[in-house]
Structure 1
Amino acid sequence: MSFPLWCLFLAALMLVLTKMPVAIAMARIDGRGYDNRHPRDQQAALRGWGSRALAAHQNMFEAFPLFAAGVLVTQVTQVQGMTVDVLAGVFVLARVLYTVLYLVNLHALRSLVWMIGFGSCLALLLAPALV
C-alpha cells in the first residue's frame, strides 16, 4: 500500500480518535459519566476544552472528504512521488497538530495549521494537472 493510502487510513482513524477527548469531557460533566443514551444532549452541554474537543472532532469530519478525494485523485491518475507523499503526510500531521491546538485554545496558530492542511488537500487535487 502506498504512503498516501496509509495516510488516508490514519486520517480515517482520526475520525474516531478525535472523539476520545470529547468522551472524556462528557464523562466529567457533573460526575454523571458518559451518557450513551443521549450523547448529543450531553455534548451540547460541554464548555471550555470539552467544547473545543467537540469542535475539533467535528472539523475532522469536515476535512476528511477533501483529503480523501485528493489522495484518491492521485491514485486514480497514478500520480506518485515524493511531492504526493509529503502532501499526504503534511495533512495528517496538520490534523494532529490542529486538534492539539484546538484543545489548548491557541486559535490563531490553529487557523494557520488548518490552512496548511487545507492547502495540502488542494495541492493533492491539483497534482495530476501539474505533472
Structure 2
Amino acid sequence: MTIAFWCVLVAGLMPIIFAGIAKAGDKSFNNRRPRDWYESVTGYRKRAWWAQQNSHEAFPLFAAAVLVAHLAGAAQNTIDALAIAFIAFRIAYGICYLADIHLARSLMWTGGMVCCIWLFVAGA
C-alpha cells in the first residue's frame, strides 16, 4: 500500500474527527436529532461542523486525484508528496477553521485544491 493510499484513508476519516471535536463534552448532544443539535451550536463547535462538511466535500476529488495519478503513471514519490501535502493543508485548514482564522483557512483550502489539480496532471 502506498503512502498516498494511506493518505486517502486519513482524508476519509477527517470528517469523523471534526464531528468528534464538535460533539466532545457537550451533554446537550442528541443523537436522535443530530442535525437539530448542529444548528443550535455556536463558536468552535459550529465551525467544527462546517469543517466536517467541507471535509466530506473535499474527499471525493482527492481520492479520485490519487487514483488518476496512479493510473496515469505519475512518479510514486510525486504522488506521495502531493498526498501528504494535501493532508497537511487539510489539517491546517481544520485548525484555522476551529480558531476562526478565515483568511489563512481559505489559503489552506486553496493549497489542498492545488494538490488535487497537480495530482490530476502529474501523470500527463
Same fold per superposition (TM over 0.5): yes
- Report the structure number with the largest CA radius of gyration: 1
TM-score normalised to structure 1 length: 0.88
User: Which of residues 61, 75, 83 is equivalent to 2:78?
Assistant: 83
Question: How much does 1:99 deviate?
Answer: 0.6
Matched, 1:99 2:114: no
Per mean C-alpha deviation after superposition, the further-off stretch among 37-46 and 11-20 is 11-20
Q: What does residue 10 of structure 2 align with?
A: 10
Q: What does residue 45 of structure 1 align with?
A: 40
Distance (whole Å) between structure 1 residues aligned to residue 110 and residue 98 of structure 2: 18
Q: What does residue 74 of structure 1 align with?
A: 69
Q: What does residue 111 of structure 2 align with?
A: 116
Q: What does residue 64 of structure 1 align with?
A: 59
For residues 89-116 of structure 1, what are the alpha-carbon distances to aligned partners after superposition, in whole Å with 9 as ceiling and x for unaligned? 0001111111111001111111111100
The one-letter amino acid paired with 1:115 is T
For residues 7-36 of structure 1, what are the alpha-carbon distances to aligned partners after superposition, in whole Å with 9 as ceiling and x for unaligned? 111111212112111212xx53xxx53201
Runs (5+) with no aligned partner, structure 1? none
Distance (whole Å) between structure 1 residues aligned to residue 34 and residue 15 of structure 2: 17
Task: Determine if contact 2:89/2:112 at 8 Å carries over to the other structure.
Answer: yes
Distance (whole Å) between structure 2 residues aligned to residue 15 and residue 48 of structure 1: 18
Distance (whole Å) between structure 2 residues aligned to residue 76 and residue 103 of structure 1: 36
User: How much is the aligned-residue C-alpha RMSD, in angstroms?
Assistant: 1.3
TM-score normalised to structure 2 length: 0.93
The total of aligned residue pairs comes to 124
Question: How much does 1:42 deviate?
Answer: 0.7
Q: Which runs of 4+ in 1 moved over 3 A?
A: none
Runs (5+) with no aligned partner, structure 2? none
Distance (whole Å) between structure 2 residues aligned to residue 2 and residue 21 of structure 1: 29
Q: What does residue 121 of structure 2 align with?
A: 126
Which secondary structure state, in structure 1, belongs to the residue aligned with residue 74 of structure 2?
A: coil
Identity between Structure 1 and Structure 2 (%): 38
Question: How much does 1:77 deviate?
Answer: 2.4
Matched, 1:20 2:15: no
